Structure 1
Amino acid sequence: MGFVGWPSFFRRASWRRLQTIAIAVLLLLPIGAGSALAAPNSPSAASTAHVYLLRGVLNIFSLGLDDIAVKLRAQGIPVTVANFASWSSLADEAAAGYKSGRIKTIILVGHSSGATALPDMVAKLDQLGAPVKLAIGLDSVFRTSLSGRVGRYINFYIANGAGTPVAKTGQFQGKLENVNVQGVPGVGHMSIEKNQIMQQKVISEIDAVVFGRSAPASGTQKPRQPRAASAAGPGSASTAAVR
């Protein structure tokens, strides 16, 4: 009986070792799977988005956009920084990428003259069949009007400075928000894109679109036109102040 028991003992001991190894492997599998699936903020999750940053005149007054570009690229978001005069060719480039499937989310940001060019770029992209998901203007220097499709258009402007609100036409489809940021500390026409508070607002709005995060409130909003601000459907527009 003792002779027969030893093989049995070794078989049981080997089985226990196999069980231990199997349990260890199973415990590791969810960790690996979770790492592969997690990832709304991994570079792969952002690879199909593209942000176009339009500088103002002479490329020397909108260098804060370069800082924003660095922060976006650090999150794996593809970025193009160019002068506002290139908006038409950039629209062609973005539309080609959208139609090929390489770009699924088009985001536009412009400062000064770059913000003034945004409505034209939005309209052209719509004509090319490549709708803009998000557009952010930083203190457009001329009064502009919107047409075409855009998921959300945010116009940050300084009411007591050079900036003006953006108007919408009957051909506009989307949501327009005019936000007065004159109460933001240190903000000015030449510094709005360099201001750390404003940079964080821009990046947070982009992250909300690209990664599906909740964008933080832009500040205490006091609608100057309650009736217009209450509209939230397609083609709606609102005017607010940020303190």
Structure 2
Amino acid sequence: MGSVGWSSFSRRASWRRLHAIAIAVLLLLPIGASPALAAPSSASTASTAHVYLLRGVLNIFSLGLDDIAAQLRAQGIPVTVANFASWSSLADEAAIAYKSGRIKTIILVGHSSGATALPDMVAKLDQLGAPVKLAIGLDSVFRTRLSGRVGRYVNFYIANGNGEPVAKTAQFQGKLENINVQNVPGVGHMSIEKNQIMQRKVISEIDAVVFGRSAPASGPQKPRQPGAADAAGSGTARAAAVRQ
């Protein structure tokens, strides 16, 4: 009897210990899981954004957009690269995806004629109820006018080349920045989207929207003048960025 009683007591003691351990584990689980539930992961945030990159007249002259697309995809950001002539159908697709909830952040980037088409795409998306969060133009060759809603529209143009600033209409809602990049080393109309400095600017602007990272200040660029290297504060240099 003594042996049986001790055995029963031992089993009850072991069960109580296991029960206590199980309760402790269960109490710890919500604490360990809470960080993952508290904030969405970067991958989740990236997957609900979509970047549309519009090439110029001939696809072979905007190949730098492929490099930008590859770097964005490496961060988990969905990308579509297409010719500028597809801007209207792309707007339809983006609006459908936005209304379904598959896309929450619409971002547009265009080079040359692709940049010229951006204001039209912004306006159509606004009409369709899918506002653009960020639009970046790379040296639009025609003067364009901006209407509709866009969180931020950045127009990088080369003032001493074919580039043109973008004007805003009374129907525009958002922030517009025209930034002259003629002094960026190696930049030109046919190379602006291939230029690594410009690619970093574009990707930094996109990352700031998608991931909430700080984008480097675009700041006005001042063209260099002969003999003005030591007179940065003279005020004779023409401001090369027009902020509206």
| Correspondence 1:172 to 2:172 | yes
Pair member with larger Rg = 2
SS in 1 for 2:58: helix
Separation in structure 2 between the aligned mates of residue 100 and residue 51 of structure 1, nearest angstrom: 17
Separation in structure 2 between the aligned mates of residue 194 and residue 12 of structure 1, nearest angstrom: 73
Higher mean C-alpha displacement, 93-102 vs 47-56: 93-102
**TM-fit CA distance, 1:134:** 1.1
The residue that corresponds to 1:60 in the other structure is 60
SS in 2 for 1:57: coil
TM-score with structure 1 setting the length: 0.79
CA contact (8 A) 2:111 2:193 kept: yes
Deviations 1:188-230 (A, max 9, x none): 222221222322222222222223x133223454699xxxxxx
CA contact (8 A) 2:204 2:216 kept: no
| Correspondence 1:84 to 2:87 | no
Separation in structure 1 between the aligned mates of residue 160 and residue 207 of structure 2, nearest angstrom: 29
Separation in structure 2 between the aligned mates of residue 199 and residue 75 of structure 1, nearest angstrom: 15
Deviations 1:28-56 (A, max 9, x none): 544444335543311x3333322110001
Separation in structure 2 between the aligned mates of residue 24 and residue 200 of structure 1, nearest angstrom: 47
CA contact (8 A) 2:183 2:222 kept: no
The residue that corresponds to 1:15 in the other structure is 16
Which residue type is aligned with residue 242 of structure 2? T
CA RMSD of aligned residues (A): 2.7
Q: How many residues align?
A: 225
CA contact (8 A) 1:223 1:239 kept: no
Deviations 1:31-89 (A, max 9, x none): 444335543311x3333322110001210111111122122223332221111111122
Identity %: 72
**TM-fit CA distance, 1:149:** 1.3
Deviations 1:99-144 (A, max 9, x none): 3333332211101111111111112222223221111111112221
Separation in structure 2 between the aligned mates of residue 221 and residue 27 of structure 1, nearest angstrom: 53
Unaligned runs of 5+ in 2: 224-240
TM-score with structure 2 setting the length: 0.79
